[in-house]
């Protein structure tokens, strides 16, 4: 099955399932749907960020969350977060839920559940999805975000600012 044929839940403004459709249909029609963003930290408290592959259909070549992706039809946010960690970074890690963002333009009309995880092993980026990745100190990343926001995925900027405002990035 191609990426465009994957099946996702179509949801309403309150994140209640109202149907299902393929990825292609959802993006073409602008249906509300679900996704996850996971921030992965190392023992030094640095955040792993990834640069999306140029082959991605949305935001190619921009910096993004450690791992992110759509929630499959019938899947929970937590299961999707753990799956995305494995698919994108080769990590088996416990994910911790923090908050949810209502679907909006910045999120690509996705209700986004935000999670964190800690890297206890080696990160092995999936080269089909990620062209580059690195751990970065939060103060340095904050300066980068402030001075060059256009190089980041809009959904990342939104969850980064919310996580920072809630003190999650200082733990």
Coil, helix or strand at residue 165: helix
Q: State how far the Cα of 11 lies from the Cα of 103, in Å rounded to an integer.
A: 10
Q: How is residue 84 annotated by DSSP? A: H
Q: What does the pLDDT read at residue 4?
A: 58
pTM of the model: 0.94
3-state secondary structure of 108: coil
* Residue-range domain boundaries for the chain: 3-170
SS3 116: strand
The two three-digit tokens of residue 35, written as one number: 């996704």
Sequence-ordered list of residues with C-beta below 8 angstroms from that of 14, at least 6 positions apart, any chain: none
Return the bridge partners of 68, or none: 37
Contacting residues for 163 by C-beta, under 8 A, at least 6 apart: 39, 98, 114, 169
Confidence of residue 1 (pLDDT cuts 50, 70, 90): low
- The answer to whether domain 3-170 has CATH 3.90.79.10 is yes
Q: What is the pLDDT of residues 129-139, one digit of tens each?
A: 999 999 999 99
**How confident is residue 86, by pLDDT bands cut at 50, 70 and 90?**
very high
Which DSSP category does 40 fall into? E
């Amino acid at each position: 099955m191609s990426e465009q044929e994957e099946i996702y839940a179509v949801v309403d403004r309150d994140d209640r399932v109202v149907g299902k459709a393929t990825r292609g249909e959802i993006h073409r029609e602008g249906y509300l749907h679900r996704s996850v963003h996971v921030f992965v930290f190392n023992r030094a408290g640095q955040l792993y960020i990834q640069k999306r592959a140029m082959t991605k259909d949305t935001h190619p070549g921009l910096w993004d969350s450690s791992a992110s992706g759509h929630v499959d039809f019938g899947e929970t946010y937590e299961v999707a977060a753990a799956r995305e960690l494995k698919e994108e970074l080769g990590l088996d890690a416990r994910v911790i839920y923090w908050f949810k963002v209502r679907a909006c333009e910045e999120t690509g009309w996705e209700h986004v559940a935000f999670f964190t995880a800690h890297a206890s092993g080696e990160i092995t980026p999936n080269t089909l999805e990620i062209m580059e990745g690195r751990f970065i100190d939060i103060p340095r990343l904050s300066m980068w975000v402030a001075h060059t926001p256009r190089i980041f995925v809009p959904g990342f900027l939104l969850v980064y600012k919310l996580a920072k405002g809630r003190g999650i990035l200082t733990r």
